[in-house]
Amino acid sequence: MRVHAETRPPELGALRHACRFCLLHDLCCPMNLGPCDLEQLQSVVRRSAPLPAGRLLFRAGDRFTAIYALRSGCIKSFSLDAGGHETVHSFHLRGELLGFDAVYPDTHRCNALVLEASSVCVIPYRDVVKLSVDFPSLHGQVLRLMSREFSKQLMCGEGSGGTQRTAAFLLNVYERLSRPGSVEFDFRLPMSREDISNYLGMSPETLSRLLARLQRKRMIAVDRRHIRLLDPSRLKLIAIGVDC
Amino acid sequence: MRVHAETRPPELGALRHACRFCLLHDLCCPMNLGPCDLEQLQSVVRRSAPLPAGRLLFRAGDRFTAIYALRSGCIKSFSLDAGGHETVHSFHLRGELLGFDAVYPDTHRCNALVLEASSVCVIPYRDVVKLSVDFPSLHGQVLRLMSREFSKQLMCGEGSGGTQRTAAFLLNVYERLSRPGSVEFDFRLPMSREDISNYLGMSPETLSRLLARLQRKRMIAVDRRHIRLLDPSRLKLIAIGVDC
DNA sequence: CGGATGCTTGAAGCTGCTCAAGTGAAGTGG
DNA sequence: CCACTTCACTTGAGCAGCTTCAAGCATCCG
């Protein structure tokens, strides 16, 4: 059930090669390290077996042991209140980190559920701290990545109207999914309408209607989970609160 | 206008004494440091002149230079969208830190406004990183404090109904303001109704009505900014989503 | 093919918003 | 010291947006 039990022993050569193309290269392999340091650094990273959709990466209340780097797939972190209402705190996409929520109280405060088959690297937190001492450049890097993860959350919570939050969400996911320099405005939402509505704080029906309205106004094209941004600049205006 | 220009030279003896009783003692003076290290550590902390209400500590877009430790008072961090709507991201109270929002993009993404006359310590970020290298125990401490600041935000955003978020907010502020072990359920809100409503994502009128209803149900007593929790356990139930 | 799931759409009702007026406390100036 | 202003908050009435309940479709899977 737990991921840690499924980790493979690191095959250093293959691993180093894999890391070279990882989006988290900057975390694992800061530029100014020698090849020897690099090996030591990568020796702490365990690549987990592929996680199928529906798997729980960790639960609220679990002891904090590691940071997870998402190589591919999508994971949501969420919590449930006593009334059964689910609040989605964040969606984690390819190239992003999760687990930082537990650094302070030493215990995870939310659950992490795999939405799309994912592959993650497990980075024991103990080692992160230990290595930060040996490699000072890593220290600032960890702080930056942690800050980035948290500030990601601030983006979509803003906005009074549902339309504003929805537009902000679509743009946010698009930016995080698209390769830099891409000219395509197509992408596939890796999460269900219900997950999105729980994230945005509205009912799934309302979200469905808002998407339909944006489509009627020729700003997006929706086909199930496939989204195409037809008028990104006007969407941007809506997202920042200009009513048009 | 900027705070940095007003900092006083550190008077080491007095400062050390002041720090001994500071709520952020754990950040500035980790237990296992010798007196010599301690002096070096404290030498980077500048205590600013008292900040009057209405003063901006920093603005969105400002270059990131320092972390601020709030010794007393109250500061809100907020941003404005193009439609003029204000979103309050966080209230910072005595003993808390602010400025972490800017670690990653190296630029503040929100404004920080003093709500109640405050006294802050300015901790240049450069020094935080530098000292973390010399004092490994400080490294984990900084990460923990950063995590604590961010996880604070998660507390009140949850909850579908306005009543739930309001109850959670009152309990949250109470816990952060009351001395540990206190048996008093009185406290004074340091911020206006409008600030609270912007934080909770509702109109000031709605907040006013929700507070009035909680008072009618004998769960709180409200007198302007003075709040007394009459039935904390029932409030807690509401806050976690049990409708009663 | 049948069932399940996830999404959309419709209608009715409620929550929360807007606009507007009223109240009370604190500060201002004569 | 007291009218006057101002500001923050409260309260009321009407309206818009969102939710809930319910039904209808399309897609996926056995």
Tens of pLDDT, residues A7-63: 444 455 555 556 655 656 665 555 455 555 556 666 777 788 889 999 999 999 999
| Single-letter residue type at B176 | R
Complete edge-to-edge strand list for the sheet that includes strand A186-188: A186-188, A226-229, A220-223
A175, exposed or middle or buried, with CB in 10 Å at 0-12, 13-18, 19+? Answer: exposed
Q: Do B136 and A136 touch (CB under 8 A)?
A: no
What's the CA–C1' distance between A234 and C10, in Å? 29
Task: Give me B193's structure tokens.
Answer: 């109704």
What's the CA–C1' distance between B226 and C25, in Å? 14
Q: Average pLDDT over chain A, rounded to whole?
A: 84
What's the CA–C1' distance between A209 and D18, in Å? 11
Region at A190 (left for phi over 0; alpha for psi -120 to 50; beta for the rest): alpha
Nearest-5° angle of CA B172, CA B194, CA A241? 105
Residue A6: the pLDDT is: 47
CATH topology of domain B158-239: Arc Repressor Mutant, subunit A (1.10.10)
Q: Do A147 and B87 touch (CB under 8 A)?
A: no
User: Least CB-CB distance to A103: which of B103, B144, B159?
Assistant: B144
pTM over 0.75? The answer is yes
Task: Give me A189's structure tokens.
Answer: 């939402």
Any idea which architecture A4-153 has in CATH?
A: Sandwich (2.60)
The radius of gyration of chain B from alpha carbons, rounded to an integer in Å, stands at 19
Tens of pLDDT, residues A165-189: 999 999 999 999 998 888 899 999 9
Minimum-distance residue to C24 (CA–C1'):
B224
Tens of pLDDT, residues A119-138: 999 989 888 888 877 777 77
pLDDT tens, per residue, chain B with 244 residues: 444 444 444 455 555 556 655 656 665 555 455 555 556 666 777 788 889 999 999 999 999 999 999 989 999 999 999 988 999 999 999 989 999 989 988 999 999 999 999 999 998 988 888 887 777 777 788 888 888 888 877 776 678 889 999 999 999 999 999 988 888 999 999 999 999 999 999 999 999 999 999 999 999 999 999 999 999 999 999 999 887 6
Q: Kindly give, in sequence order, each residue whose CB lies less than 8 Å from that of residue A40, ignoring residues fewer than 6 positions away.
A: A131, A134
Residue A5: the pLDDT is: 41
> Are residues B214 and B220 in contact, defined by beta-carbon separation less than 8 angstroms?
yes
Measured CA distances, B41 to B15, B16, B37, B70, B71 (Å): 11, 10, 6, 18, 18
Disruptive mutation site among A107, A160, A234 for chain B (greatest number of B CBs within 10 Å): A160
Measured CA distances, A54 to A64, A76, A209, B56 (Å): 21, 11, 27, 46
User: Could you tell me which of A239, A240, A237, A218 has the C-alpha nearest to residue A229?
Assistant: A218
Domain ranges of chain B: 4-152, 158-239
Give how far B98 is from chain A: nearest CA, Å.
Answer: 12
User: Could you tell me which of A167, A160, A183, A176 has the C-alpha nearest to residue A220?
Assistant: A167
| Single-letter residue type at B9 | P
Query: Is residue A200 scored above 90 in pLDDT?
Result: yes
Any idea which architecture B4-152 has in CATH?
A: Sandwich (2.60)
Does any CB of chain A come closer than 8 Å to the CB of residue B134?
no
The Cα–Cα gap between B89 and A79 comes to 20
Disruptive mutation site among A96, A125, A143, A200 for chain B (greatest number of B CBs within 10 Å): A143
Does any CB of chain B come closer than 8 Å to the CB of residue A180?
no
Give how far A191 is from chain B: nearest CA, Å.
Answer: 20
Query: Which residue in this structure is represented by tokens 């990466």?
Result: A57
CA B8 to chain centre: 23
What's the CA–C1' distance between A192 and C2, in Å? 24
Helix (H, G, I), strand (E, B) or coil at B111: strand
Across-strand partners of B66? Answer: B124
Residue B28: the pLDDT is: 59
Q: In terms of CA atoms, which chain B residue is nearest residue A140?
A: B129
Residue B137: the pLDDT is: 74
Does any CB of chain A come closer than 8 Å to the CB of residue B97?
no
Residue B131: the pLDDT is: 80
The Cα–Cα gap between A154 and A152 comes to 6
**What's the farthest any 2 CA atoms get from each other in chain A?**
58
Residue B220: the pLDDT is: 97
Across-strand partners of A222? Answer: A227
Q: In terms of CA atoms, which chain B residue is nearest residue A88?
A: B158
Residue A31: the pLDDT is: 47
Sign of the CA dihedral B185, B186, B191, B193? positive
Same fold, B4-152 and B158-239: no
